Copies of this chain bind each other. A is one copy, B any other.
Amino acid sequence: MSYPNQASHRYHQSQGLKRRKDHDTSANSKEPERKLADVWREIQGQDDWVDLLDPMDPLLRSELIRYGEMAQACYDAFDFDPFSKYCGSCRFIRRRFFESLGMTGHGYEVTRHLYATSNIDLPNFFKKSRWPKVWSNKANWIGYVAVSDDETTRCLGRRDITIAWRGTVTHLEWISDLMDFLKPINGNKIPCPDPTVKVEYGFLDLYTDKDENCRFCKYSAREQVLSELKRLTETYADEEMSITITGHSLGSALATLSAYDIAETGLHVMQDGRALPVSVFSFSGPRVGNSRFKERIESLGVKVLRVVNVQDVVPKSPGLFFNEQVPPPLMKLAEGLPWAYSHVGVELALDHRNSPFLKQTSDPACAHNLEAHLHLLDGYHGKGHRFILSSGRDPALVNKACDFLKDHHLVPPNWRQDENKGMIRNNEGRWVQPERPKLDDHPLDTHHHLRKLGLASEH
């Protein structure tokens, strides 16, 4: 099987994460021999990406694309075919995750799959099989935790723990599920000392809900992430580490929320007092909480870089009327309202009208598409700079799941599909949906780590 994920190819080219020869004008290349291992703290946002965005820093661009591809992997690996027996699950076991996606040189290992329960108010986020017998009635795969291998760790300058959250594969119905209703964050067992810190109700539910009777969602997404992070930070306690969280669309909201949670819970603080950098590279994300949430997450030192396309409607939601762009005095007045949202962190605003590869379209799913964002990043060199692709990243990837490339590129729209919908011919010559290897269960030590965090009872 051959997967249209550019990552392996690109990553091989840039293996060692040295700066690639690219089409950058030399004006942009401040330090041609700069190595990521030396400057990774800046790239992760230590200085809030000041001077790295305009003109666009080539190393940062390359890292943004790399993390974006880890978010894209959540879509490529998700089984969203309602006629599949495994609809709603991850198509690949965690040990062969990147390999199965053709990202063989990616240099990370998935250490845990993440699941969420569908007992919440975001019905359009969840996918269910049409068949009566299914792998799970209540759970959906929602992302993964991965850690860099030794070789990649050397190149990156630190052991990197990445959490990638899946967004919604289909159109944008989920936006209409958002209740435009901010809820105090500490109401859902996230310890926040300030009751005026509020986030969107739906995101909070998705992150914290669980179902004791469900094999895959007996732990909430939150519990799964925190216990895995606890385990990994203990495993690599002697090393330099970073926590990088990524996601697209609704996954961007979960990335922001979980980054906040990690910092608020203090999980990034090691026993020796070191605080691991916590960074979010988010794509096409909606607003998550109110301005108090913004202040809180930023004061906790979480660095958020939000990549958006100015033509995309999702980053304008929720909070279309009351948001961070309203004059501060008015916003102060509005703060008591449940619909006064605020974006967090630093925005990198792209515009799909700048790419000569893309056609004019009024389809909001195109403007929101993650592969399109990665393409836009690849050609972005700063405000007002010409759009010039900086790597061998294939523009054809844009059309994997949308109809966005100009016709003369001869790339069919929505071309990413499995041969025969994954049907194979068995030994008797019958065409069947193959059984999958046993789905990864939650690790047995989850409870152990939750107890350490004070999130589970002693039994």
Contact surface of A with B, Cβ cutoff 8 Å:
1-2, 4, 6, 9, 81, 83-85, 130-132, 392, 394, 396-397, 407-408, 410-413, 415-421, 423-425, 428-433
Contact = CB atoms under 8 A, between A and B. Distances in A.
B431 A411 contact: yes
Contact of A416 (B6, B420, B432): B420
Contact of A417 (B85, B419, B424): B419
Shortest 8 CB-CB contacts between residues of A and residues of B: A83-B412, A419-B419, A396-B431, A415-B421, A9-B429, A412-B421, A394-B430, A415-B423
Given A410-B131, A429-B6, A429-B392, A420 B421 contact: no
Contacts of A428: 392
26 contacts: A2-B419, A4-B420, A4-B431, A9-B425, A84-B412, A132-B407, A392-B428, A392-B429, A394-B430, A396-B430, A396-B431, A396-B432, A397-B431, A411-B423, A411-B431, A411-B433, A412-B423, A412-B433, A415-B431, A416-B420, A417-B417, A417-B418, A417-B420, A417-B421, A418-B419, A419-B419
A449 B410 CA distance: 40
Contact of A1 (B410, B419, B423, B433): B419
Most chain B CB inside 10 Å of its own CB: which residue of A84, A413, A428, A429: A429
A140 to B, nearest CB: 19
Given A132-B407, A396-B430, A417-B419, 13 more contacts: A2-B424, A2-B425, A83-B413, A130-B407, A131-B407, A132-B408, A392-B429, A394-B429, A394-B430, A396-B432, A412-B423, A412-B433, A417-B421
Copies of this chain present: 2
Nearest to A424: B2
Contacts of A412: 81, 83-84, 421, 423, 433
A238 to B, nearest CB: 38
Contacts of A407: 130-132
Given A408-B132, A410-B131, A396 B423 contact: yes
A407 B85 CA distance: 11
Contacts of A392: 428-429
Contacts of A408: 132
Contacts of A396: 423, 430-432
A4 B432 CA distance: 11
Contacts of A423: 4, 396, 411-412, 415
B2 A420 contact: yes
A2 B431 CA distance: 11
Nearest to A10: B429
A88 to B, nearest CB: 15
Q: Among A130, A397, A419, find the residue whose CB has the most chain B CB atoms closer than 10 A.
A: A419
Contacts of A413: 83
Nearest to A418: B419
A293 B411 CA distance: 48
